[in-house]
Amino acid sequence: MTPKSEKHDIKAIWGAQAVEPNLVTVERIRADADKFQSAVRRRNRVEYAALVFVIAVFGAYIWIFPTPLMRLGSLLIIAAAIFMIVRIHFRASANPIPSHQSFMDYIARYREELRRQQSALRTVWLWYLAPWVPGIGVFTIGINQLLKHMLGNRAPFWPIALVMVAMVGVFAGVLILNVGGSRRLQRKIHELDRLLAS
Amino acid sequence: MSQDDRYSLAVAAFGPALQRLVRSFEADADQRRDLLQEIHLELWRSLEVFEEKCSLRTWVYRVAHNVYASHVLRRRRLNYAGSASLDELADAPNRSNPEVIAGEQQAVAWLHQTIQRLKPPDAQVMCLYLEDIDANEIAEIVGISPGAVATRIHRIKTILARMFQNGGPDDT
């Protein structure tokens, strides 16, 4: 048994814990930091590339398709894609929370950040889905118009209905995922509120 | 002094303390390794803007505690409902327990378990107290008043004294 005097020197016991030699080198840290930055850049590049592809395709449609509605729809879709590119740019340049502030300040900033993210998820219909609606709507009406022009009354409605159902399905899926994410963030915010109040 | 030099200096001086801190806060060995790696990465990153407005030690502990907080928040919810405050531990009745804290290893294990049971600010104060950091610096790291730190340290001393004088952990 440990003698009582030693037992009392609890800080000395604490400080005497065996520790492993530090194997983390500056080179490895730099490599990890680069890896993380590369992953972020890759994600942004994929999103930019997808949006540039949308712009290129609908830019071509402006020349290819004859009806004004399809051209207008293409223009509106291009505008939505440009809006998304601007949003990604601002997201990429957002400042991270400084980790060298006191714990309670850090938690307060972390809470603000969660609140901002939650607000973004809750309003995803407004900034992520709504910008596409006018373009897709006008473009779809334009397709309908073109089909009627080409086939007259024999023009089938089902291709239009299929596009609309697919779009509603995708939009509903995005909304459901984001509402779930927003609720998870809300629970974290409640936890932080309790922590900050203690 | 370059960022790399500052990082090397910080790790040489506080590397063992970071390991003790991670051991206290994270029970799972894999998570512990990830957490320590995250702390080192963030420490190196943060030292790019270190302007000596606070001591290097305060800076290192702040970064470590904040990385821990975001690590926990990212992976799971804070288990707040199941954790205890220092007041609850100090005020809990001391049930007689035949088990005695017989050696240093057992004492350290008990300390880690106790810190893991505590709510975050209390756990941090206890960990920093054991690292022999004074109340003013703990207040700077945690972001609560020195008075609140002093009260918590008083509670910690009560818990530790009871534990090591009576010879066994109560299982409240």
Residue B171 in contact with partner chain A when CB distance is under 8 A: no
Q: What is the CATH number of the domain that holds B92?
A: 1.10.10
d(CA B68, CA B130): 18
B93 and B158 housed in the same domain: yes
Most A-contacting residue of B18, B73, B74, B122 (CB-CB within 10 A), to test interface: B73
Most A-contacting residue of B18, B164, B165, B166 (CB-CB within 10 A), to test interface: B164
Its domain, for residue B161, covers 86-166
| A10 is a domain residue | no
d(CA A191, CA B31): 21
B90 and B155 housed in the same domain: yes
Q: How does B3-23 read in b/e, with b if 16+ C-beta sit within 10 Å?
A: beebbbebbeebbbbbbbbbb
Instruction: For residue A45, give the DSSP letter.
Output: H
Q: Would you give the distance in Å from CA A129 to the centre of its chain?
A: 12
Measured CB to CB, residues of chain A less than 8 Å from chain B are 1-2, 6-8, 10-11, 13-17, 19-20, 22, 24, 26, 29-30, 32-33, 36, 98-107, 110, 187-188, 191-192, 194-195, 198
| A105 is a domain residue | yes
A100 contacts on B by Cβ (under 8 Å): 46, 49-50, 59, 62-63, 66
- Say how many CB pairs under 8 Å bridge A and B: 133
B23 and B64 housed in the same domain: yes
Q: Per the structure, how many domains does chain B have? A: 2
B24 and B64 housed in the same domain: yes
B123 and B160 housed in the same domain: yes
pTM: 0.80
Instruction: For residue range B21-31, list pLDDT tens digits in order.
Output: 999 988 888 98
d(CA B20, CA A18): 9
The encoded tokens of residue B172 equal: 């409240």
Considering only the beta carbons, identify the residue of A29, A104, A187 that sits closest to B40: A29
Considering only the beta carbons, identify the residue of A10, A20, A198 that sits closest to B19: A20
Q: Give me the half-sphere count of Cα atoms (radius 13 Å) on the Cβ side of residue A40.
A: 12
Question: Distances in Å between the alpha carbon of A59 and those of A6, A79, A97, A134, A175?
Answer: 79, 11, 39, 16, 28
d(CA A123, CA A62): 31
| A5 is a domain residue | no
Q: Per the structure, how many domains does chain A have? A: 1
pLDDT, averaged across chain B: 84
B70 and B101 housed in the same domain: no
Residue reference for tokens 């090591």? B164
B9 and B64 housed in the same domain: yes
Longest dimension (CA), chain B: 55
Helices (H) and strands (E) in chain B, counts: 8, 0
A95: left (phi over 0), alpha (psi -120 to 50) or beta: beta
Question: Distances in Å between the alpha carbon of A166 and those of A54, A175, B169?
Answer: 18, 14, 62
| A69 is a domain residue | yes
d(CA A192, CA B95): 33
B66 and B110 housed in the same domain: no
pLDDT, averaged across chain A: 87
Residue numbers of chain A with a pLDDT score lower than 50: 1-7
| B171 is a domain residue | no
Instruction: For residue range B101-155, list pLDDT tens digits in order.
Output: 567 788 888 899 889 888 888 999 999 999 999 999 999 999 999 999 999 999 9
| B153 is a domain residue | yes
Q: Is the pLDDT of residue B95 over 60?
A: no
Q: Is A95 helix (H, G, I), strand (E, B) or coil?
A: coil
Its domain, for residue A77, covers 23-197
pLDDT of B92 reads 67
pLDDT of B96 reads 43
B71 and B44 housed in the same domain: yes
B137 vs B161, higher pLDDT: B137
| B172 is a domain residue | no
B115 and B94 housed in the same domain: yes
| B63 is a domain residue | yes
For Cα atoms A97, B124, B60, give the angle at the middle one, nearest 5 degrees.
50
Q: Which residues contact B123 (CB under 8 A, 6 or more apart)?
A: B24, B25, B115, B116
B161 vs B17, higher pLDDT: B17
d(CA A48, CA A54): 10
| B21 is a domain residue | yes
Instruction: For residue range A51-107, list pLDDT tens digits in order.
Output: 999 999 999 999 999 889 999 999 999 999 999 999 888 876 666 889 999 999 999
B residues 91-150 lying closer than 8 A (beta carbon) to A: 100-104, 107-108, 111, 119-121, 124, 129-132, 140-144
pLDDT of B118 reads 87
User: Which alpha helices (DSSP H) does chain A contain, by range?
Assistant: 4-8, 10-15, 26-64, 68-92, 103-122, 124, 132-151, 158-197
Q: Which of B48, B75, B102 is the last residue of a domain?
A: B75
Instruction: For residue A126, give the DSSP letter.
Output: I
